[in-house]
């Protein structure tokens, strides 16, 4: 399926780029681990290009082209792209899922901010839950209830990331906290990006965000326990490791402006061991009724796409609209779209 040399390249990229995912992936069966590493390498490369590059719009437009080529069976001559194209062909990956990630990255390039927690969940669905839904496809899981819980886990992870990076994001001019929370606290967004301060109001927002993440981590557990047995330990590990980041934020008094939460190797080993125990224990547990909870409204389109339901045409048009808008601004800025240069 995936060329061994391309797979090794993806494995190395993840080993150096995401220690948490690399640690959790070791617990997945090879049939899931290998395509998961390739998928994550492609998504991580796309995210890094948009997040860290000097020219975000061009990175998004290039990603659009890369997706077009991969789905046409003619990937760009790069290990991540060739491996991703192999995954698309082998697993019949619904195009709406990577396009949702593309849309989320386009929102980053557009420097969007979100008025409410629902808006933050909309963003999290695209940049995180879309990857969770794609992971389910790699596990041959198309059940809508299991997919909804995987999307819960994705949103929870992204909310944790946002909570951890409040200061770092603010110093880069970015705000992912709901703007209505800032308004209620009497905080001006412009002043906050110029001089973020970890006062009581901001700490309460971080705490509130992590409380929502915790709620979704707990909901996600019912979904983990219906995944293929061999995959449960790895996904449990991801759930525990990311929630552990939130735990470190709590220990530092919800101050993520003057410091950044980190987890150590010993902690990760502990969570990996706990993941094994949780997975083994799930064999004897009855199916939790939480598995049947309705999906978050913000992730419903991902569940429908992965479950092979009719895609939302209006949402597809929304993706095209924002990409067209970015391209128009790209032309106005440099004369020629970056993707054509």
- Residue with the larger pLDDT of the pair 155 and 52: 155
What is the CB neighbour count within 10 angstroms for residue 261? 20
pLDDT of residue 53: 56
* Cα–Cα distance measured from residue 41 to residue 80, given in angstroms and rounded to the nearest whole number: 6
Give the rounded distance of the alpha carbon of 80 from its chain centre: 18
Measured between its terminal Cα atoms, the distance across the chain in Å is 32
Domain map (residue ranges) of the chain: 93-340
pLDDT for 341 beyond 50? no
pLDDT of residue 318: 73
pLDDT of residue 58: 81
**Which tokens belong to 109?**
């390039």
What is the CB neighbour count within 10 angstroms for residue 226? 16
* Cα–Cα distance measured from residue 217 to residue 9, given in angstroms and rounded to the nearest whole number: 31
State pLDDT tens for residues 228-266. Answer: 999 999 999 999 999 999 999 999 999 999 999 999 889
The percentage of residues in the chain with a pLDDT greater than 70, rounded to a whole number, is 93
**Which tokens belong to 333?**
């800025």
pLDDT of residue 334: 63
pLDDT of residue 125: 98
Q: Which of 176, 199, 182 is nearest to 111 (CA)?
A: 176
pLDDT of residue 314: 61
State pLDDT tens for residues 158-206. Answer: 999 999 999 999 999 999 999 999 999 999 999 999 999 999 999 999 9
CATH number of 93-340, picked from 1.10.600.10, 1.10.760.10, 3.20.20.10, 1.20.1440.230: 1.10.600.10
* Cα–Cα distance measured from residue 80 to residue 37, given in angstroms and rounded to the nearest whole number: 10
Average pLDDT over residues 4-19: 84
Average pLDDT over residues 82-95: 94
């Amino acid at each position: 399926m995936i060329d061994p040399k391309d797979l090794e390249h993806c494995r190395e990229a993840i080993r150096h780029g995401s220690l948490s995912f690399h640690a959790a992936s070791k617990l997945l069966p090879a049939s899931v681990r290998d395509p998961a590493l390739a998928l994550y390498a492609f998504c991580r490369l796309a995210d890094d290009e948009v997040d860290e590059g000097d020219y975000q719009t061009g990175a998004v437009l290039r990603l659009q082209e890369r997706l077009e080529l991969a789905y046409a069976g003619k990937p760009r001559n790069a290990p991540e792209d060739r491996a991703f194209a192999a995954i698309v062909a082998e697993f019949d990956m619904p195009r709406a899922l990577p396009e949702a990630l593309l849309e989320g990255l386009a929102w980053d390039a557009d420097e969007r901010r979100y008025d409410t927690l629902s808006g933050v969940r909309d963003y999290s669905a695209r940049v995180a839950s879309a990857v969770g839904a794609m992971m389910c496809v790699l596990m041959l899981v198309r059940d809508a209830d299991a997919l909804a819980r995987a999307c819960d886990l994705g949103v929870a992870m992204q909310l944790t990331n946002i909570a951890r990076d409040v200061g770092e994001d603010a110093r880069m001019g970015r705000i992912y906290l709901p703007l209505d929370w800032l308004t209620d606290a009497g905080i001006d967004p412009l002043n906050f990006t110029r001089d973020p301060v970890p006062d009581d109001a901001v700490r309460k927002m971080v705490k509130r965000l992590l409380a929502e993440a915790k709620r979704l981590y707990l909901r996600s557990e019912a979904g983990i326990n219906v995944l293929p047995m061999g995959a449960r330990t790895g996904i449990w590990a991801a759930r525990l490791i990311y929630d552990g980041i939130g735990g470190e934020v709590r220990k530092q008094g919800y101050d993520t402006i003057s410091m950044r939460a980190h987890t150590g190797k010993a902690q990760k080993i502990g969570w990996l061991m706990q993941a094994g125990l949780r997975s083994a224990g799930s064999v004897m547990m009855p199916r939790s009724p939480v598995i049947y909870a309705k999906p978050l409204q913000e992730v419903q389109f991902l569940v429908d796409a992965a479950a092979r339901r009719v895609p939302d045409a209006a949402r597809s048009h929304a993706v095209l609209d924002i990409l067209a808008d970015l391209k128009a601004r790209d032309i106005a800025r440099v004369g020629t779209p970056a993707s054509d240069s």
